[in-house]
Amino acid sequence: MKYFTAEFVKLCKNGDRKAQRELFETLYASMFRISQRYIPRHAEAEDCTMRALMRMFKRLPEFKFTGEYSLFMWIKKMVVNETLMELRKKNSFYLMTEETIAEIPDQSDILQQLHAEELVELITQLPTGYRTVLNLFVVEGYAHKEIAEMLGITESTSKTQYQKAKARLKKMVEQHGWRSYGKLGE
């Protein structure tokens, strides 16, 4: 994660094209990866990233510098919000009902045995609802109550989607024979 100084942010806010270009080039790849966690299709994730970064430049004068990572976190939130808007707009946000949460057992530590890149690849294969709740809860650190408000679902549905995502990931890992520590496929 890149941090930015107050002086750098001030240059960007004042329209310094060189600083703004550096900001864009520094952030683009990491923001694209965030978009792609929610929207695995390359072109759509790229569009979301670009819209979020354009919004960031428009709203930059309102940004209040509070610390070296504050700009990064502010932009990251915009990217997450943009991808959630895209998911809602396309009506591709299907959530399963919450009736079966009791039948989902607690998962073993098999998912903790995977490397981050392997886990991200598996997560992108999850259904949209599972993937979105899992990302918001595990990666972004939102509580289920906050997720429910963001997505217009119940807190119980958020918890169910999270449990089902974990169960589906475990099943995917086991189906591919990735039961040991180390790289997938070894």
95-120: pLDDT as tens digits? 554 444 444 444 444 445 556 677 77
Looking at domain 101-175, its CATH class is mainly alpha
5-46: pLDDT as tens digits? 999 999 999 999 999 999 999 999 999 999 999 998 999 999
pTM of the model: 0.72
| CATH code 1.10.1740.10 for 6-89 | yes
The residue extents of the domains of the chain are: 6-89, 101-175
Averaged pLDDT, 176-182: 53
SS (H, E, C) 98-166: CCCHHHCCCCCHHHHHCCHHHHHHHHCCCCHHHHHHHHHHHHCCCCHHHHHHHHCCCHHHHHHHHHHHH
45-86: pLDDT as tens digits? 999 999 999 999 999 999 999 988 899 999 999 999 999 999
